[in-house]
Chains A and B, each alone.
Chain A
């Protein structure tokens, strides 16, 4: 264990370098560069607010903040898991030649997306200012569900990265799952529309539901996350990490034969 940590410590420079590379490559030749991390969710939010406040009316106070807070977290989940899924495959030329701890690649993707999430939080603050949402002290507690979600995403990413090596189908299937999850999470609609449907029960099995509602509580309602919600979020995070890491661990010696 100590040894593993020493290896990780030795390769931390690789981790930071890969994150730096991703940032540079993502915003290469774009005039606004990293500003897009803020601008993109902002514009998306504008489009969706326009659509949903005109055509489908939901009775949600402060819709822009409601929408954006849910969407930022979900986008993070989508981005990090999808990027992590292909990360080991994408690094095949490297893995075939040099010994590098392989979990670095999915881990790097979730770190990179997490960093992006923090940048995008600027957009949320901006919208909160514009809409005159009151700022609560609990806003700072919002990092708790964010961090737990990061753990969850890392676990999912490790699992997907390993699975995609043996079965490329996973890559196609995952987009369907993400879409399903995005509708099963109250992002653009209020939780109340679940009433009287099976979603009342099923919706609570969706991990994303817990992260999003807990985060929203901190941002909009000014309440600190409850023990239950922190407990559930932690449970999903740890479960994902344990499953993801052990699947990755058990299969990683065979990666090289399939990539």
Chain B
């Protein structure tokens, strides 16, 4: 079977300028002096993972271990410095919800805007508009500017839009930590529903409990290196004993 996502020997370098040079004068001065130095920082070092169709793939690791960077290279936001990322299917990113919202617009307008950001067509959004509203349970507030919403309410809409489609791959970065308990449960159910429909899920979570509950395969990252990849129980046990 062909993997859904295949990450091969990916390394990601960031140039941490010791002082951020973003104006021309400084740049020219430093350039002529030949002192335009950057501190290199490798957020990912030679990472390879393969995600098969139908997998619920967990990524665990401490803050700064490279989980989010890896997700961003898979989502196409970052281009890896070395190595390749191949994705065979449509991706619905759930990385930090609400990225495509404009707080001055109403919820109704934002639903369309956010759908457009994710690359959906107008027809698709028309068809799914009602589902999205139903799922987010915000019928009464549709024509209220988003800035008057609570963050939990924004998160609801965002989740509803991203999962309105049946994507081939769902990328979820700490998303289930928003909203009240009941809504979290609802989100988890929706994700389970998608999974049983064959959607591949990539999940980042600090809650090892959640990873245990949902994933079938896990990769443990530390400082940009893969420490361990394998079945959930095995990796989680090793991870828990270390921390």
Query: Is residue A243 within 8 Å, beta carbon to beta carbon, of the partner chain?
Result: no
A25-B102, A25-B104, A25-B105 known; A97 vs B93 contact (CB < 8 Å): yes
> Contacts A24-B109, A94-B117, A98-B75; is A13 near B104 (CB within 8 Å)?
no
B103-121 interface code vs A (CB 8 A; 1 in, 0 out): 0110001001101111111
A95–B119 Cα gap in the complex (Å)?
Answer: 13
Partner of B95, one of A18, A98, A257: A98
A14 in the interface (beta carbon within 8 A):
yes
User: Which B residues lie within 8 Å of A253 (CB)?
Assistant: 79
**Total residues of chain A contacting the partner, CB 8 A:** 29
Q: A98-B77, A98-B95 are in contact. List 4 more A-B contacts (CB 8 A).
A: A13-B115, A21-B102, A97-B93, A99-B77
Contact A93–B113 (Cβ < 8 Å): no
Complex CA distance for A33 and B76, rounded to whole angstroms? 39
When distances are taken between beta carbons in the complex, the residues of chain B under 8 Å from A18 are 113, 116
- Name the interface residues of B83-129: CB closer than 8 Å to any CB of A: 91, 93, 95-96, 99-100, 102, 104-105, 109, 112-113, 115-122, 125
B14 interfacial contact with A, CB 8 Å: yes
Which of these, B78, B99, B116, contacts A14 with CB under 8 Å?
B116
Chosen A-B contacts, 16 in total, with CB atoms closer than 8 Å, are A11-B119, A13-B120, A13-B122, A16-B116, A24-B104, A94-B99, A97-B77, A97-B93, A98-B118, A99-B77, A167-B22, A167-B23, A168-B22, A168-B23, A169-B23, A257-B14
Q: Report Cα–Cα, A99/B91, bound state, in Å.
A: 10
Q: Is the CB of A21 within 8 A of B113?
A: yes
Are A167 and B27 neighbours in the complex by a CB distance under 8 Å? yes
B: contact size bracket? 20 to 34
The answer on a CB contact under 8 Å between A98 and B112 is: no
Chain A nearest CB: distance from B201 CB in Å?
17
With the chains together, A18 CA to B121 CA distance in Å? 14
Any B CB within 8 A of the CB of A258: yes
Query: A78-104 interface mask toward B, CB cutoff 8 Å, 1 = contact, 0 = none?
Result: 000000000000000111111110000
Assembly CA distance A99 to B99 (angstroms): 11
CB distance from A157 to the nearest CB of B (A): 19
Closest-by-CB residue of A relative to B15 is A257
0/1 interface trace, chain A 104-123, chain B, CB 8 Å (1 if under): 00000000000000000000
Contact with B along A1-39 (1 / 0, CB 8 A): 000000000110110111011001100100000000000
Residues of B with C-beta under 8 A to A256: 77-78
Q: Does A166 contact B (CB under 8 A)?
A: yes
What 5 pairs across the A-B complex have the smallest Cβ distances? A99-B76, A97-B99, A14-B116, A17-B116, A169-B24
- In the complex the two chains form, what is the Cα distance from A10 to B122 in whole Å? 10
Flag B228-240 by CB within 8 Å of A: 1 or 0 each: 0000000000000
Cβ–Cβ contact B22 & A258, under 8 A: yes
Interface residues of chain A, those whose CB is within 8 Å of chain B, are 10-11, 13-14, 16-18, 20-21, 24-25, 28, 93-100, 166-170, 253, 256-258
CA separation between A21 and B23, bound complex, in Å?
A: 31
A24 / chain B contacts, CB cutoff of 8 Å: 104-105, 109
Residue of B nearest to A99 (CB): B76
- Is B23 within 8 A of A93, CB to CB? no
Q: Are B23 and A96 in contact (CB under 8 A)?
A: no
- Whether a CB of chain A sits under 8 angstroms from the CB of B25 is yes
Contacts of B95 in A (CB 8 A): 97-98
The answer for the CA separation of A250 and B149 in the assembled complex, in Å, is: 40
Give the shortest distance, in Å, between B100 (CB) and chain A (any CB). 5
Inter-chain CA distance A166–B24, complex, in Å, is 9
The CA of A18 and the CA of B104, in the complex, are separated in Å by 13
Query: Chain A's nearest CB lies how many Å from the CB of B12?
Result: 10
**Smallest CB separation, A95 vs chain B (Å):** 7
- Kindly name the residue among A17, A18, A93, A169 whose own CB sees the greatest number of chain B CB atoms within 10 A: A17
| Distance between B42 CB and nearest chain A CB, rounded to angstroms | 14
Q: Give the CA-CA distance A20 to B95 in the complex, in Å.
A: 25
Cα(A166)–Cα(B99), bound, Å:
23
Cβ contacts under 8 Å, A21 to chain B: 102, 105, 109, 113
Task: Report B-chain residues with C-beta under 8 Å of the C-beta of A25.
Answer: 102, 104-105
Chain A residues whose C-beta falls within 8 Å of the C-beta of B25 in the assembled complex: 169
A17 touches B15 (CB 8 A): no
A10 and B119 contact, Cβ closer than 8 Å, known pairs A97-B77, A167-B23, A168-B23:
yes
Q: Assess whether A17 is in contact with B99, with CB atoms less than 8 Å apart.
A: no
Residues of A contacting B76 with CB < 8 Å?
A: 99
